Every structure is written in C-alpha cells, then in structure tokens.
Amino acid sequence: MTLERTFVAIKPDGVQRGLIAEILGRFETKGFKLVGLKQLTPSKELAEKHYGVHKDRPFFSGLVDFITSGPVIAMVWEGDGVIASARKLIGATKPLEAEPGTIRGDLAVNIGRNVIHGSDGSDTADFEINLWFQENELVDWTPSDQEWRVE
Ligand code: IDP
Ligand code: MG
C-alpha cells in the first residue's frame, strides 16, 4: 500500500457552473480522504507557476487568464494510489474524448473549460501541493472506517 497525496482543483468554470458538490462527491464517495480544502482566486504568479510546464504553448496566456478569472476550489486528497486514480476519475484532457463516468466525460465539452485539474504524477503532486498550500493548512485525521481497509 502506497499512501499518496495529490492536488486537485475545481477550475473557475466548475465553480461558476455550480459543480463543486458534484465534483467533491466523486472523490469522497470513491473513498479518498480530504486533507486540504480552500477557495481562492489564484494570482497570476501562482497560475504561471502552476502551469509553468506549458509556458511555451499557444494556449498558455489564455489558460492563465482563465484560471485567474474567478474562484477556484483547491484540494488535497489522500489515499492508496490516489494520484493515478484521481486522473482516472477526472478523465481525458479533451472532454469529448473523456469516457462517460469520468468527471470531464460527464460534465464538460470544451478543452479550455474542462472543469478540473489533477496532478499527473508524484513529483507534480508534491510541487503543486507545496505551491497551493501551507503545511498548516493540511489536516491529518483518521476516518473511523480506516480499520476496514485491507491490503
Ligand atoms: P491536464 O489538465 O489533463 O493535465 P494538460 O495537457 O496538462 O492537461 O493541459 C493543462 C490544461 O491546459 C488543460 O486541462 C486544458 O484546460 C488546457 N489545455 C491543454 N491543451 C489545450 C489546448 O490545446 N487548447 C486550449 N487549452 C488547452
Ligand atoms: Mg496537466
């Protein structure tokens, strides 16, 4: 069992469309543990760091403008295999190619408005968690059903 943490964010379109509860519920009902949660409108500096890997792509400035345009729900989820599982729950980057049953497959149509972000690996998860959260904003707790979990 590899206990992991990943960074997930509901983008401004997800917030504006009233999808917060729907999206949070996908992770909660799957069985992952919420260890960080806050709402903020990201600064340009934060957005540019977060999407730094895409800085030479033609969509970069539009992406930064969009992600800074309104409130985002930033989250850290913890669990066994949560990094890859969150990407599966989220679905493909292009919502029209995302499988039904995934968040993007069920809730989005446009690549530039694909409602959610999730870290794509353990290095990016560490980087993004540290970028978006202070250590004291993350809560260590033990769900009372933890004893049911088996290898
Ligand atoms: P991901 O969010 O599935 O990890 P990335 O390739 O890392 O996808 O791209 C980051 C975000 O940039 C995407 O979620 C999407 O919002 C946006 N994006 C990616 N490719 C394009 C594009 O070709 N046009 C417009 N926006 C794009
Ligand atoms: Mg990505």
> Model confidence over 112-140: pLDDT tens digits?
999 999 999 999 999 999 999 999 999 99
pLDDT tier, 1 (very low <50, low <70, confident <90, very high otherwise): low
Q: Is 114 in the pocket of ligand 1 (CB under 6 A)?
A: yes
Q: What is the pLDDT of residue 2?
A: 66
Tokens of 83: 């990094």
User: 116-118 and 33-40 as β-strands: parallel, antiparallel, unpaired?
Assistant: unpaired
pLDDT tier, 39 (very low <50, low <70, confident <90, very high otherwise): very high
Ligand nearest to the CA of 93: 1
Centre of ligand 1 from the C-alpha of residue 141, in Å: 33
Rounded distance between C-alpha atoms, residue 100 and residue 91, angstroms? 9
DSSP-assigned beta bridge partners for residue 40:
72
How far from 1 is each of 4, 80, 151, CA to CA, in Å?
9, 6, 6
pLDDT tier, 148 (very low <50, low <70, confident <90, very high otherwise): confident
Mean of pLDDT values over 74-95: 98
Q: Is 119 in the pocket of ligand 1 (CB under 6 A)?
A: no
Rounded distance between C-alpha atoms, residue 79 and residue 53, angstroms? 26
Q: Is 11 in the pocket of ligand 1 (CB under 6 A)?
A: no
Tokens of 24: 């949070």
